[in-house]
Amino acid sequence: MTLHSERTDRRRRAAGFTLIELLVVLVILGLLVGIVVPRAIGYLSKAKSDVAKIQLENLATSLDLFRLDVGRYPNQDEGLQALVARPSGIVTWRGPYLKASSVPLDPWERAYVYEIPGKRGGPYELLSFGADGTRGGEGENADITAK
- What's the pLDDT tens digit per position in 10-20? 665 556 678 88
Q: What is the pLDDT of residue 8?
A: 61
Distance of CA 78 to the CA centre of its chain: 26
- Tell me the whole-structure pTM to 2 decimals: 0.68
| pLDDT one-digit tens code per residue, 40-62 | 666 666 788 888 999 999 999 99
Q: What is the pLDDT of residue 61?
A: 93
Q: What is the pLDDT of residue 33?
A: 77
Give me the chain's average pLDDT, please. 83
Q: Which of 127, 126, 103, 108 is nearest to 116 (CA)?
A: 126
Rounded distance between C-alpha atoms, residue 61 and residue 67, angstroms: 10
Residues of the chain with confidence (pLDDT) below 70: 1-16, 38, 40-45, 147
Rounded distance between C-alpha atoms, residue 103 and residue 97, angstroms: 10
- The CATH label, of 3.30.70.3270, 1.10.1200.10, 3.30.700.10, 3.30.470.20, for the domain at 3-145 is 3.30.700.10
Q: Which residues contact 120 (CB under 8 A, 6 or more apart)?
A: none
Q: What is the pLDDT of residue 21?
A: 81
* 95 exposure class (CB count in 10 Å sphere: 0-12, 13-18, 19+): middle
